[in-house]
């Protein structure tokens, strides 16, 4: 990791443009990746690197910061599992409800690339449920709000 990437990671709130968007995406990916990992060090980040390159095309430093934040979130989720899965889900739901534009960051083509069949069934089911939750968040936030009350 370069010094600049490390500094951006350490001081992301101060130096990164739209860092909340980047952190939101990192939380999404950590949530879907964590069930397939035994520990944060044993995760295969090759697909994540490819997705990061697609999202942040010409910004290698932003890609590096993104990867580091995902690793941090995965470590937190795995260290405090299963309660941390629930907390991350609640946090994502709260953020999307507060800011509907974050739902655009939920790209199911990217998310579904992390679904794995070669993991234990309970973890695979957890991944599928997380994927369904993220898809629901994306759909709910993109739908216009319809008022059910009528004025007389």
Cis peptide, bond prior to residue 138, ω within 30 of zero: no
Contact by Cβ (8 Å): 33, 112: no
Q: How confident is the model at residue 150 (pLDDT cuts 50, 70, 90)?
A: very low
Which pTM was predicted?
A: 0.81
**Residue 76: pLDDT band by 50, 70, 90 thresholds?**
confident
* pLDDT of 121 above 70: yes
**Model pLDDT for residues 101-115, shown as the tens digit of each residue:** 888 889 999 999 999
- pLDDT at position 75 over 70: yes
Paired tokens of 103: 């739902």
**pLDDT of res. 131:** 95
Which token pair is 73?
């979130």
137 or 14, greater pLDDT:
137
pLDDT(148) > 80: no
Q: Rounded distance, CA 110 to CA 98, Å?
A: 23
Q: What is the pLDDT of residues 3-51, one digit of tens each?
A: 554 555 555 555 555 667 888 999 999 999 999 988 777 788 999 999 9
HEC readout, 88-131: HHHHHHHHHHHCHHHHHHCCHHHHHCCCCCCCCHHHHHHHHHHH
| Cα–Cα distance measured from residue 101 to residue 91, given in angstroms and rounded to the nearest whole number | 15
Would you say how long the chain is, in residues?
152
- How high is the pLDDT of residue 11? 58
With beta carbons less than 8 A apart as the criterion, state whether 128 and 115 touch: yes
């Amino acid at each position: 990791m370069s010094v600049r990437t490390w500094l951006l990671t350490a001081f992301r709130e101060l130096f990164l443009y739209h860092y909340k968007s980047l952190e939101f995406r990192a939380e999404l990916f950590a949530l879907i990746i964590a069930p397939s990992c035994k520990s944060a060090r044993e995760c295969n980040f090759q697909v994540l690197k490819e997705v990061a390159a697609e999202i942040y095309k010409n910004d290698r430093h932003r890609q590096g910061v993104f990867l580091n934040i995902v690793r941090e979130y995965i470590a937190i989720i795995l260290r405090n599992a299963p309660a941390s899965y629930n907390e991350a889900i609640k946090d994502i739901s709260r953020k999307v409800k507060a800011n509907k534009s974050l739902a655009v960051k939920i790209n199911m083509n990217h998310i579904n690339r992390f679904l794995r069949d070669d993991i234990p069934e309970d973890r695979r089911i957890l991944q599928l449920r997380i994927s369904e939750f993220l898809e629901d968040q994306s759909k709910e936030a993109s739908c216009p709000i319809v008022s059910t009350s009528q004025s007389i």
